């Protein structure tokens, strides 16, 4: 499945481009695309080039982006997203799985 084919009119997040702080395993340093979530995950972050899974978007981050879209409209440029590495280090891997921050993943 091509990541660019995920655009969906029902969910304003789907197809939105986000810039992540790391590089995909395929070497692409391009914005990721938000795809549909699965199970408890609100949305998936996919590589623009190879469609590889780049991460899950936390609910609080999704709510932040949805409110931003509602207030300002759909962005035309990628949104920069950071990963909360300090929180991950402080909480440890098992506790961090359930913690979310406003717009960091």
Instruction: Return phi, psi of residue 51, to 5°.
Output: 65, 15
Is residue 96 over pLDDT 70?
A: no
* Partners of 46 in beta bridges: 33, 53
**Which whole number is the average pLDDT over 5-34?**
84
Q: State mean pLDDT over 47-71.
A: 91
Q: What is the 3-state secondary structure (H, E, C) of 34-99?
A: EEECCCCCCEEEECCCCCCEEEEECHHHHHHHHHHHHHHCCCCCCEECECCHHHHHHHHHHHHCCC
Residue 25 corresponds to which tokens in the numbers above? 């395993």
pTM: 0.70
Q: How confident is the model at residue 59 (pLDDT cuts 50, 70, 90)?
A: confident
User: Does 92 score more than 50 pLDDT?
Assistant: no
Q: What mean pLDDT value characterizes the chain?
A: 78
How much is the average pLDDT of 30-38?
92
Q: Which of 2-16, 33-47, 49-63 has the lowest mean pLDDT?
A: 2-16
Smallest CA-to-CA distance from 34 within 70, 72, 74, 73 is with 74
């Amino acid at each position: 499945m091509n990541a660019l084919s995920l655009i969906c009119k029902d969910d304003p997040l789907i197809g939105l481009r986000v810039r992540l702080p790391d590089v995909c395993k395929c070497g692409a340093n391009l914005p990721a695309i938000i795809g549909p979530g699965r199970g408890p995950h609100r949305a998936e972050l996919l590589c623009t080039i190879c469609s590889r899974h780049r991460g899950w978007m936390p609910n609080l981050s999704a709510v932040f982006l949805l409110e931003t879209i509602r207030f300002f409209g759909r962005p035309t440029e990628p949104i920069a997203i950071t990963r909360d590495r300090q929180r991950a280090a402080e909480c440890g891997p098992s506790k961090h799985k359930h913690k979310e921050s406003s717009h960091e993943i």
